[in-house]
Structure 1
Amino acid sequence: MALSDVQLRSLKPSSTTRKISDGGGLFVQVTPSGSKLWRLAYRYDGKQKLLAFGSYPAVSLADARTRRDNAKRLLASGIDPSSHAKAEKAARRAAVEDTFQAVADEFLGKVEREGKADATLKKKRWLIGLAAADIGRQPISDISAADVLAPLRRVEALGNYETARRLRAVVSQVFRYAIAISKATNDPTFGLRGALVAPKVTNRAALTDWPNFAGLLRAIWCYEGTVETRAALKLMALLYPRPGELRQAEWKEFDLNDATWTIPESRSKMRRPHCKPLPAPALEVLRGLKEHTGTRRLAFPSIQSPERPLSENTMNAALRRMGFSQTEATSHGFRATASTLLNESGMWSPDAIEAELGHVGADEVRRAYHRARYWEERVKMAEWWGAAILSNSRGRVIDAGKS
């Protein structure tokens, strides 16, 4: 017999739970505490199941009957109403919890746990922040290519084409992570690759012939700046590391007795320790520097604070003061110079040069193979390069590849 609102209001609790039917499997469950709970009993796939609709009077009699009828329609279509209700609940939760910003924060946490460099994390956070203003609060599963294009176009409008390209790449990383953890099914950035303005590629400024490079070396060896800046520029020429690897170097990384410098994986771009041989001229520079900064943690501390490293701007500013424009020489350009001149010399295997530059692939077997096979050659190459640098810095302009 169908229920009425009068009957529902008059239902009183008892010592046991009671069930009062409304028909079609719908009933109200009256608990000893006085709660009146709507339930639907049904069978699916041969199993008896129960679906909750909430409590009366929050869910009215009319609403409960509507929900029963909707559930019956799902059953007629071969859909389990309970599974359908759970899916809808998950979708509602995702709309609130699984936003682009929330998933991006999870992704950044993963990147941090993987031990990526602070500079890498800072750049990714900054780029994600550029997109978050537009899509940060949207459920990540609902975001379309058009949604992502909006922040990309805004960055492009400022003429920052390279930033737009990197922004698309980082947003893509967030979506690929979302797919991996089942919070998204596709990466909408894939179709945007051809939509962005291609940035003009410019090579890092570098002097790649011995006569011009010799002029730079003479200027560095005569430079009258701070001890730390002079030493850093000399070592950039002698060792050609990435500027950040040298600027942030700590004294514990240098073994002056064994003539090695081990760059830890936390600062190595390839995310693994990188050991470099130290030629005699580099050892001389480091021993001189140690007399000034050897009691500190950082080998190249900033003038402003001993706990902060020398900045790359400091080195580049020194090059400008020596008369070299930013189109002629930069601190990063020493790597291109060394790579070019070492390869042109014809004396060293390309793989040994790549290993010294820290370009060897991350595969463990390949890494060990390179270190074992090329270490001796790298030591000889470092001494040869150091001698050539010292000769040219003293005014003996020679083509080291023909010496």
Structure 2
Amino acid sequence: MLTDTAIRKAKAQEKQYKLYDERGLHLLVRPNGSKLWHFKYRFDGKEKTLSIGVYPEVSLAEARVARDSARSDLRAGQNPALTKLRRRAEAMAEQQNNFEAAAREWYRVMSSTWRPRHAASVLDSMERLVFPRLGALPMREITPQMVRAAVLDIEKIRAADIARRVRQRISAVFVHAIACGNAETDPAGVIKAAFAPIPTKPQPAIIDLEELRQMLRAVDATPAHGVTRLATRFLALTAARPGEVRFATWAEITDAEWNIPAERSKTHKAHTVPLSIQALEILEALKPISGASPYIFPSARWIMRPMSENAIGYLLNRVGYSGRHVPHGFRSSFSSIMNERSPSDRGIIDLMLAHTPANKVEGVYNRARHMARRRELAQEWADLLLKDFPAAVELLRLPSR
């Protein structure tokens, strides 16, 4: 049997020679001084040689372990050389199956179902917050502790809600990889319970009709860009989402309806908003101002761009309603006031708000639009909200900021 001392003392000679251990293992000493481990065996009646590695990178003990593993393959009727090639291929495949590759494949499959803005946000969060930390690691080597540490670090430099969303996305990547046979567990899923839930607060909203009317009068009386005033009134009348109003285009208006396309809808479904007389008056007042723009409510500086994301919110804050009412709050105002006045129309009111039905089966099969009643409710709401208010065109003549 060989010893480490004998191997170290073995000197290069003019011709290569072998130092034998036992059970087929030997060390080949070459004229250039390199020392190579080989295992000689017979398979299918033919003599073969398996290369194990270079000494001292592969020690004597490690060479013996490799020899014993090859002998086990022989007893199982397998060719050790082919087993070595298979294991090397599996190792390379495992190395290529890292988290970043899996995440990009998940993104490729899922992003087509998302709105462009959300898709861009998801990819950006992965590239900036996750890939530098976990991207190069093989999927099967990532542990729950690794994911938890990464999420906690994101929470420190960002915010708790961002960190929670990133954890959900990491979990989704693993679930997709499991389905594709590239992972066995979801380390991001099992740590969900390790994070305390973030308390959710309802968005501030005025749900008393007279208080809401008082706020809208204050908005009219506050110096502001005329388009911002009209956008605020239009948002209150339609109870749409602020982003939908901000990006509303003239092409989406047909007769007395505003047709919001699926790609701009939170539910990814096209949604029709019946327009009251007062809402149509706003559009008529804006035609001379923004008719040349694709956007109904363009920016104060650039007519070919939509209004600022924060324009309506800043106006409500200047009026004195910071913390009491936000642009999204008009949806709560409409829902609360109209449900109290007409409880039998609850389902239609939810339809007007483009809410996803709690009953998913009903959402699939009940496709009734109830447009006649929706128009009636939209007009009733407008009459309640703007009774004795100045006409829309008058808001353009009030002092500007």
1:343 to 332, 339, 346: 339
SS at match of 1:89: helix
Query: Are the aligned partners of 1:227 and 1:289 in contact in 2 as well (CA < 8 Å)?
Result: no
SS at match of 2:273: strand
The residue matched to 2:264 in structure 1 has which SS? coil
Say if 2:390 is the partner of 1:391. Answer: no
Corresponding residue for residue 320 of structure 1: 317
Q: What is the CA deviation profile of residues 78-137 of structure 1, one whole-angstrom value per residue up to 9, with x for unaligned ones?
A: 778647743541332331x222122222222223322x1122123312432322232122
Note if 1:143 corresponds to 2:142.
yes
TM-score by length of 1: 0.75
1:212-239 CA deviation, whole Å, 9 max, x = no partner?
1111121234444223212211111000
After TM superposition, the structure 1 = structure 2 runs for residues 134-283 of structure 1, keeping only pairs within 5 Å, are 134-158=133-157, 160-255=159-254, 257=255, 259-283=256-280
Contact 2:339 2:346 in 1 (8 A): yes
Q: Deviations over 1:350-386 (max 9, x none)?
A: 2111111111349998457544253222121111111
Instruction: Classify the secondary structure of the residue corresponding to 1:266.
Output: helix
So what's the TM-score if we normalise by structure 2?
Answer: 0.76
Q: Distance in 2 between matches of 1:39 and 1:304?
A: 82
Match of 1:120 in 2: 118
Measure the CA separation in 2 of the matches of 1:200 and 1:141: 33
Letter in 2 for 1:94: E
Matched, 1:375 2:371: yes
Distance 1:52 1:289 in 2: 86
Q: Which amino acid aligns with 2:116?
A: D
Q: Does 1:290 align with 2:287?
A: yes
How has the CA–CA distance of structure 1 residues 189 and 320 changed in structure 2, closer, same or farther, with 3 Å as cutoff? same
**8 Å Cα contact 1:221/1:393 also seen in 2:** no
Shift of 1:330: 1.0
Residues 1:91 and 2:87 are matched in the alignment: no
Unaligned runs of 5+ in 2: 1-12, 17-23, 25-38, 55-59, 391-401
Cα 1:53–1:189 change in 2 (3 A) is same
Distance 1:202 1:360, change over 3 A: closer
Q: Could you tell me which amino acid in structure 2 is paired with residue 278 of structure 1?
A: L
Q: Within 1, Cα distance between the matches of 2:224 and 2:154? A: 39
d(CA) in 1 for partners of 2:257 and 2:79?
A: 68
SS at match of 1:308: coil
Which secondary structure state, in structure 2, belongs to the residue aligned with residue 194 of structure 1? helix
Cα pair 1:342 1:348 within 8 Å, conserved: no
Task: Note if contact 1:251-1:298 (Cα within 8 Å) is conserved in structure 2.
Answer: yes
Q: Distance in 2 between the 1:298 and 1:307 partners?
A: 7
| Structure 1 Cα separation of the partners of residues 87 and 302 of structure 2 | 56
Flag the 1:41–1:233 CA change in 2: closer, same or farther, 3 A.
farther
| Deviation (angstroms), 1:269 | 0.6
Contact (CA 8 Å) 2:43, 2:79: kept in 1 or not?
Answer: no
Letter in 2 for 1:388: L
